[in-house]
Amino acid sequence: MFAQPYRRSLMFLISALAFGACTPQAARVQNATQLDDDFSSNQNYWDNGTSDHSDRSIQNGAFTITVKSTDWTAWTSPGVLLPEDVDVQVDVMVPTLATALDWDYGIHVRASERGNTATYYTCGISETGHWFISMHTGPSQVKSLKGGNISTKLTPDKSNTLRCVAKGDLIKIYLDGKFLGSVNDPTLPVNGNPKYIHLSAYNGKNGDATMQAIFHNLKVRPAD
């Protein structure tokens, strides 16, 4: 889990942030070219558990991330190494949408590891109806690459399908099948080594209440 900044400006670089412990489960890591997970069990060794800042659990066919601290991001990752060029989609619902007024959720792709020192790209959606693509280059190093507004109305009782595609230097984001935007960035290049994915939830600086994101029906494929 990593304490992220309030991400509403289009371009920024943060170099001095606090971050908390995120200890991946001590489990074997397997390689795969694709992944389907209905979260009926933890057969893919997702990071789960409870801490002072967040809870992460699998139950009732869903992976739920609950963020209890403000200005805090919690993420989870399976014990599966996947291709660097990936097409990831997952259904996401935020039942706390009406009470947690400052949040976002996202997919991390091309993640170098499962813990706090990971580098990765994020495709995310925020409570303001904003989409964003950002880059995390190390502990406390976050840069927004591109963003814009979505036309989809977010509701607390309906899931939306977030999709993130990474192929070469191109990162693309979709919501409910609609293309939102893309960016070319060579900072985290393809180097021939398999990478992780993460699912993340953020409770912002103005988030006085607990934020919860519920993830269903994950699908990962090699990017075309």
Distances 204 to 4, 150, 179 between C-alpha atoms, Å: 8, 19, 26
Residues 29-53 pLDDT 10s:
799 999 999 999 999 999 999 999 9
User: What is the rounded (10 degree) CA torsion for 141, 144, 97, 61?
Assistant: -70
Residues 92-143 pLDDT 10s:
999 999 888 899 999 999 999 999 899 999 999 998 899 999 999 988 789 9
Q: What is the pLDDT of residue 21?
A: 37
Residues 155-167 pLDDT 10s:
999 999 999 999 9
For the segment 180-204, the average pLDDT, to the nearest whole number, is: 95
Domain 33-152+159-222 has CATH 3.40.710.10: no
Q: What is the pLDDT of residue 8?
A: 41
Strands (E), the chain: 13-14, 30-31, 35-37, 49-50, 54-59, 62-67, 72-76, 80-81, 86-93, 103-111, 120-126, 130-138, 141-149, 160-167, 170-175, 178-184, 196-203, 211-222
Where in the chain are the domains?
A: 33-152+159-222
Q: What is the pLDDT of residue 99?
A: 87
Higher pLDDT, 102 or 184: 184
Residue 164 bridge partners (DSSP): 88, 173
Q: What is the pLDDT of residue 206?
A: 75
Mean pLDDT of the chain: 88
pLDDT band at 207 (very low <50, low <70, confident <90, very high): low
pLDDT band at 154 (very low <50, low <70, confident <90, very high): very high
